Amino acid sequence: MVKAKKKKKKSKAKLSPAERAQKRLKDLHFREVRSIFATCEFQRIPAASDKEFSYKGTTSDFDDVFIRENVIVLTECTIHQSSELSGHLKKKKVLYDKIREDVPAFLAFMDKEFPDFLAAKDPKFQPHHYQVVIVYSSRYPITTDLKAEVPGLIYLDYHIVKYFKTITDRVKQSSRYELFAFLGLKQNKIGVAALSPPAMSSASYKGSILPEGQSHFPPGYKVVSFYVAPEALLQRCYVLRKDGWGDESGLYQRMISRTKVEAIRKYLLGKKRVFINNIIVTLPSGTQLTRDNGTTVDPSKITDTEPGNIQLPFEYNSIGLIDGQHRVFSYYEGGKDEEAIALLRLQQNLLVTGVIYPSHMSKADQSKFEATLFLEINATQTNARSDLKQAIGVLLQPFSHDSMARQIVNALNDQGPLGGEFERYFFDKKKIKTTTIVSYGMKPLVKLGGEDSLFAAWGEKNKQALADNPTEKLASDYVKFCATQINTFVGAVKAGIPSERWTADKRVKGRMLTTTIINGFAVCLRLLVQNDKLNTFDWYQSRLPKSEVQKFEFSKYKSSQYGSLGADLYNKFFSK
């Protein structure tokens, strides 16, 4: 009897090194996004994820489907290059529009198409209770214009993925409140609150109310002190972290430190008592101040500190943490000591001093006020770094020399030969640090006066008003002018340098992107302005022959020798 030949298994096609790198990039991106939602206690539905279906004539899929109570999140993760994103996103838009047109109909379709999706839903919620959030997460930047063409989505950009991955790693489940805020979800629409909206609309805390005359804040501001359980703060607080997801100009605080949080948590678990010093916060204008008999306390009409009740609205992202974020977040939910810390989170009380905003105050003014408070508290401390002070300066004094210089560096980082080469986010590695360049390179180059400043070469007729009576329009025009002139010069230098050397990676011999070299370019530009030689890209390139530029010993200039570097560049290539 002849034995049947065994069928050979088809071997998988071997991936090229480039394909393997792409696969690693994609896998990491998916893992990080999934990790964020998993930590925030969203349930992933594998049977409905990455499964093709046809809905109202459109065939598509979702990379992941997540459910938490009555919130459904549909995610699309992509590693398409920026040039390919428009086609990919607009193709997906067809399905997204159909979902938003009739959410209950789409949910009914999903129930029928994916039984596991139906099984994961809580029966106490009716179709109208559900909120569907569509999240588009790209590994590469999406332009503002493209986002405007496809509205209604939550764009989970790569730096926001890294931010939330860090926050969820450090404060575990307590990060869900910030994630809810990012997704545009309101407290009264999530979970049981959606079934009974009036429940938990506010909470009252005993405290002291300071008369306006004794606070020395402007009229309309109210100052209170009270004790509150960490749980209540964790549910309501926000921190304007400079690496966060809000308006970039209003972000100034540092990323939360795992070391600090864990050290305080260890203290709490060991000593079983709170830190004595108080937490400084800002409170929403909707905070009510009442006496025990229910009457309202008006701080402008009292002369002595009065006892009272501070009624905090139950809203996510409503209490601004100015000082004490590590003490508050040390009570985070989750982790190996959760059972012990859960009791302390409810039983212990933190002493809070809060400033209540006037009702008419804009978001921009609120951010400025919070930044001012933060700076007053931290400016004299050794841990208030220069980059942090510069970031706050852009917010509080946007027309100062330091702030203008910082804005110009930001513009250089957006596009041009130095685009994407400066540190922007906490996770950026092998990039140029900005603080020294702002202070010693850009600030002298763009100062509002002097024969060697780009200000002298600016053709704006009304430019003196930028120094005497500045406006946002004039400042924006000057930033654009300076960025264009710097990019033109640096682009001509770059054209003569081998591409592998145009990096900040310290492992590359002869790397060009160092603070010394960039500051040297700024010094050379100052000499060009002073000698009336500011010019075009072609003219610069004609003076910078590749053979000579590549032989120039940029690397011999160390640390603060950028003055010598700039002068030598000018004398060798431009003085004649």
**Half-sphere exposure of residue 465: CA atoms within 13 angstroms, side-chain side:** 10
**Boundaries of domain holding 564:** 397-573
Q: Are residues 62 and 160 in the same domain?
A: yes
Whether residues 216 and 145 share a domain: the answer is no
Domain boundary among 189, 216, 251: 189
Residues 328 and 420 in one domain: no
Per-residue pLDDT of the chain (576 residues; tens, 9 = 90+): 555 556 656 666 788 888 888 889 999 999 999 999 999 999 999 999 999 999 999 999 999 999 999 999 999 999 988 888 899 999 999 999 999 999 999 999 999 999 999 999 999 999 889 999 999 999 998 888 899 999 999 999 999 999 999 999 999 999 999 999 999 998 888 988 888 765 556 788 899 988 877 777 777 888 899 999 999 999 998 887 766 676 555 556 677 888 988 998 888 888 877 777 788 888 888 888 888 888 888 888 888 888 989 988 888 888 888 888 899 999 999 988 899 999 999 999 999 988 888 878 887 778 778 777 777 777 655 444 566 666 666 656 677 788 888 889 989 988 899 988 888 777 777 788 888 888 889 999 999 989 999 999 999 999 899 988 888 899 999 999 999 999 999 999 999 999 999 999 888 889 999 999 999 999 999 999 999 999 999 999 999 999 899 999 998 998 889 999 999 999 999 987
Q: What angle do CA 328, 334, 337 make, to 5 degrees?
A: 90
Token couple for 353: 């001093």
Distances (CA, A) of 572 to 422, 512, 567: 28, 18, 9
Q: In terms of C-beta density within 10 A (0-12 exposed, 13-18 middle, 19 or more buried), how is residue 182 classed?
A: buried
Q: Which residue bears the tokens 């053709």?
A: 459
50 plus 165 within the same structural domain: yes
Q: What is the pLDDT of residue 243?
A: 61
| Exposure letters 130-146 (e unless 16+ CB within 10 A, then b) | bbebbbbbbbeebeeeb
- β-strand pairing of 53-55 with 43-44: unpaired
Closest CA to 486 of 450, 441, 448, 531: 441
Largest CA distance in the chain: 109
Encoded tokens for 390: 């510069």
Indicate whether 51 and 177 sit together in one domain. Answer: yes
Output the six-digit token pair for 159. Answer: 């730096």
| Contact criterion met (CB below 8 Å) for 325 and 287 | no
The per-residue pLDDT for 383 is 44
For tokens 């600090």, name the residue.
260
DSSP string, 120-182: HS-TTS-GGG-EEEEEEEESS---HHHHHHS-SSEE--HHHHHHHHHHHHHHGGGGHHHHHHH
Is 481 found in the same domain as 340? no
Which residue spans within 279-333 are E strands per DSSP? 279-283, 288-290, 306-313, 319-323
Q: In what order do the strands lie in the sheet with 131-138?
A: 43-44, 64-68, 71-78, 131-138, 154-155
Helix pair angle (515-530, 472-495), 10° resolution: 110
Q: Is 446:482 a contact under the CB 8 Å cutoff? A: yes
Output the pLDDT for position 384: 46
**Residue from 165, 164, 169, 135 nearest 152 by CA:** 135
Q: What are the tokens at 392?
A: 């706050």
Q: How far apart are CA 465 and CA 289, in angstroms?
A: 45
> Which of these three, 139, 157, 189, is where a domain ends?
189
Indicate whether 8 belongs to any domain: no
C-alpha span between 423 and 447 (Å, rounded) = 23
* 412 and 438 both lie in a single domain: yes
Dihedral, CA of residue 278, residue 279, residue 280 and residue 283, to nearest 10: -120
Same domain, 180 and 226: no
**Exposed/middle/buried for residue 91 (C-beta within 10 Å: 0-12, 13-18, 19+):** exposed
Asked if residue 524 is part of any domain, the answer here is yes
**Is 277 in the same domain as 410?**
no
User: Does 390 fall in a domain?
Assistant: no
| Contact partners, residue 112, CB within 8 Å, separation at least 6 | 118
Full DSSP string of 298-362? -GGG-SS-EEEEEEEE--TT-EEEEE-HHHHHTT-S-STTHHHHHHHHHH--EEEEEEEPPTT--
Beta-carbon contacts of residue 360 (< 8 Å; ≥ 6 apart): 220
Decide if 243 is inside a domain. Answer: yes
Q: What is the pTM of this model?
A: 0.79
pLDDT value of residue 233: 92
Token pair 């002018």 in the structure block, residue:
481
Token pair recorded at residue 201? 């609309």
Same domain as 115, residue 142: yes
- 389 falls within a domain: no
CA dist 138 and 156 (Å) reads 7
Helix (H) or strand (E) holding 566: helix 562-573
For 310, phi then psi, to 5°, come to -100, 115
Claim to verify: residue 107 and residue 65 sit in the same structural domain: yes
**Is 292 in the same domain as 344?**
yes
Is 12 inside a domain boundary?
A: no
Pairing label, strands 154-155, 131-138: parallel
Among 496, 480, 506, 311, which Cα is nearest to 411's?
Answer: 480
The confidence score (pLDDT) of residue 286 equals 82
Tally: H helices and E strands in the chain: 25, 15
Within a domain: 56? yes
pLDDT, residue 5, reads 58
For the chain, the domain total comes to 3
Residue finishing a domain among 125, 160, 189: 189
* CB contact at 8 A, 325 and 331: no
The CATH code of the domain that includes 109 is 3.40.1350
What span, in angstroms and rounded, lies between the C-alpha atoms of 438 and 386? 10
3-state secondary structure of 549: helix
Determine, yes or no, domain membership for 559: yes
In one letter, which amino acid is 391? A
